[in-house]
Structure 1
Amino acid sequence: MNETTSADTVNQRHADKMRKHKAARDRIMAGKTGEKGLLIVHTGSGKGKTSAALGMVFRHIGHDMPVAVVQFVKSPTWDTGEARLLAHFPDLVTLHIMGEGFTWETQDRARDIAAARKAWERAKELIRDDHHRLVLLDELNIVLRYDYLAVDEVVAFLHDDKPADKHVVVTGRNAPASLIEAADLVTEMTLVKHPFRQGIKAQKGIEF
């Protein structure tokens, strides 16, 4: 068998394999006709939870669908790339930066609880409304971890009050088990390597 014949054989086998694969995928996709508002959780120790959620935010913007973002930890005094960019879409984006910064910076539990409660009450209004297609609750898991909000209260609201066609995305490490159970889609970011361990600080365009 010469090289040309061998290559033709390999290509034909590949084409046959892909044809069968496509037929199988088409059968699977034919049964996937449902559509609903999803409860999505991005958690884990790895980087990229908020970044992935913002990707969904920007997809919605690209489709001219209104979105809302509530940031539970980031402070209004922080200068982040996402806040700068989202400001360019005032007709499609409602952004509330309502945190007090990292808990080890505020060192004031009562103040952190008050900020979390205020952000959650605003989040509930945005989730209930009939305007926004997606609501991102950025780092909500952090305030749940520190018991600034009751997990049962949050999960019950998302289960009972979230409109059937609205997407809600929750980010942050240590997502509680009950939230994971209630979610439709859960992704855990796994830390493999991080430059912080090598003495590299958070950098503009990467972390903020």
Structure 2
Amino acid sequence: MTAPLLVLATRNAHKVGELRAILTGPDGALPGLDPAAVVGADAYPQVPDVVEDGVTFAENALLKARALARATGLVAIADDSGLAVEVLGGAPGIFSARWAGRHGDDAANLDLLLAQLGDVPDSHRRAAFVCAAALVTPEGQELTREGRLPGTLLRERAGEGGFGYDPILVPDGETRSCAELTPAEKNAISHRGQAFRALAPDVVAALSGR
């Protein structure tokens, strides 16, 4: 059994799968890394969830990665991401996962946001997915990288794939929502893909010798 080398600070199975593919898939940022060496926080149920009380994506990502690196003794990477809507001044932003009040209720979050934007014309429905990826080592090294996927918001859901706000954002240069893209297509352009590919050389350096 492959020993874990890298722990992802999320218990979201969708996100673990997406990040593992971004990092270790055939076209991933770290194709030589055994996927089994990359585990999610659910592999360490004794580690409590972190209160995400930062005011930026980067601050929240660092909070999660620090806690997991300290508790497991492994290199930890975390991301904090969300949807920034121009006409809402960047909201829901860091509150994206709990925009409707309950954390992780994708359907309620989508319903609320679509209702809030109901009277907004197509020309003002610009938005972007934003991701801050953080790396923290047990020795205390810390750094963050950012990725952005700009696009336009639909008036109703389209597509069955992805999660979160994927069904309502059409990336620039596309005619399909993120939920209509294949996983490989999405990973190639996504905000998480950009952030974690930018972080990859730092992950390689942190894992060297372990």
Structure with higher strand content? 2
TM-score by length of 2: 0.25
TM-score by length of 1: 0.25
Pick 1 or 2: higher relative contact order, CA cutoff 8 A, min separation 6: 1
